[in-house]
Amino acid sequence: MSRRVIDCTKVLSHGAADAFTALEFERVGQPQTLAHRIEMDADVGTHVLAPRRYARWGSDLAGLAPETFFGEGLVAHLEITADAPDIDSNRLEDAFGRNLGTRDIVVIAARGNGVSPSLTAQAAQWLFVRGAKLVALAEGISIGREQEPDDERVILSTLLENDVPVVRGLVNTETLSTERMAFMALPAPAADVTAWPVRFIALDPGLDPTQEIVEIEAPVDQPEADMDPAEADAVPEAADLEESDSDPSAEADEPEPQEQAEDDQSSEADEPSSDDDPDETDATQRSTEA
C-alpha cells in the first residue's frame, strides 16, 4: 500500500525566534569547513515534552523507550467555534470512538476562524484512560485557559506523570486524512533534559483532504450500430467459432466402437495361441501327412 509522507515539523531558522540561534564558524585547522554552534531553548519549534517536565522523578528523554515515539495512531480534525472553543472528552469521543486502540499515537488538530482552541483536563484524563502512548497537538492549540497559567501544568501532568510524552507545534495537519497511519517523532536521547525538538513524520495511506477529487468516467462500450465495418468484419461470429472447433473430417476417420471391437476379435482368432502344446501340434501334422 502506498503512503504519503507528511512532514508536520516547523522549520528552525536562525534569527526567526529568540529561542533559536545558529552561530556559524570555521574550526581551527579545518579551512573552508562550516560548523555551527546552536543556542536554543529546548522547547522550541515542534518539540516533545518529557515526563520530567513537572516532576523530578519523571523520565527524561534518555529514559523513554524509542518505541514511545514510533507507532500507529489516528488524527482528530475538530471544528472549533467561539461558543465552544474547548477540546473536551466529548469531542474526542465523537472523533475517535472505538477506533482508538491502546498504545496508539493521538494527533489532535483543530480548525476555527479566529478562535484559539484549548485542551481541557477532562480531555487529558480521557487520553490517559484510553491508553494513548504519545499525544501530539497542532500549532495553535493551547493547554487550559489563558487567564489561568497553572492550568497547563495541571493538565499536562495528567499525561506526563504517567509516562505519556506530549508533542506540541505540529504543522501541515490539515493535509492528514482520518485513516489509520504511522507516526514517528524521535528526539535526541538527552539525559536530564525535559524537552527537545523532534521531526514529526506521518505515513498517511489516505487521500489529502485539501485536494479536490477528480472523477474519471469509465469508457462506454461502443454499440454495434456505430462500429466501423472493418472492425465488425474482424469480429468472428459465435456460430463460426463453434464450427471451427469441431472438425468433421476428423470425426469421419475415427472408427465406430462396434466395428473396432469386431476387428479386434478377428485378429485375435487368426493369431496362434501361445498356450497350445507343441507335441499335439506335431502329432496332428504327422496324421495329416499319412
Over residues 41-69, the pLDDT tens digits come to 999 999 999 999 998 889 999 999 999 99
- The proportion of the chain whose per-residue pLDDT surpasses 70, expressed as a percent, equals 73
CB 52 within 8 A of CB 65: no
CB 156 within 8 A of CB 43: no
- Residue 18 in this model has a pLDDT that exceeds 60: yes
Rounded distance, CA 280 to CA 36, Å?
A: 120
Rounded distance, CA 159 to CA 175, Å?
A: 27
CB 118 within 8 A of CB 150: no
- Residue 259 in this model has a pLDDT that exceeds 80: no
- The proportion of the chain whose per-residue pLDDT surpasses 90, expressed as a percent, equals 56
List the beta bridge partners of residue 77. 109
The average pLDDT across 245-249 equals: 52
CB 89 within 8 A of CB 122: yes
H/E stretch holding 86 reads: strand 86-87
| DSSP label of 67 | G
Which pLDDT does position 274 carry in this prediction?
A: 46
Total-model pTM: 0.71
State pLDDT tens for residues 204-230: 999 999 987 666 666 766 555 555 555
- Residue 3 in this model has a pLDDT that exceeds 60: yes
H/E stretch holding 75 reads: strand 70-79
- Residue 243 in this model has a pLDDT that exceeds 60: no
- Residue 264 in this model has a pLDDT that exceeds 70: no
4-9+42-204: CATH topology is Glucose Oxidase; domain 1 (3.50.30)
Rounded distance, CA 12 to CA 17, Å?
A: 9
Higher pLDDT, residue 235 or 129: 129
Rounded distance, CA 242 to CA 273, Å?
A: 49
Specify burial of residue 144 (Cβ count, 10 A radius: 0-12, 13-18, 19+): buried
- Residue 6 in this model has a pLDDT that exceeds 70: yes
DSSP notation for 177-188: -SS-EEEEEEPP
Which range, 6-10, 31-35, 228-232, is most confident?
A: 6-10
CB 195 within 8 A of CB 43: yes
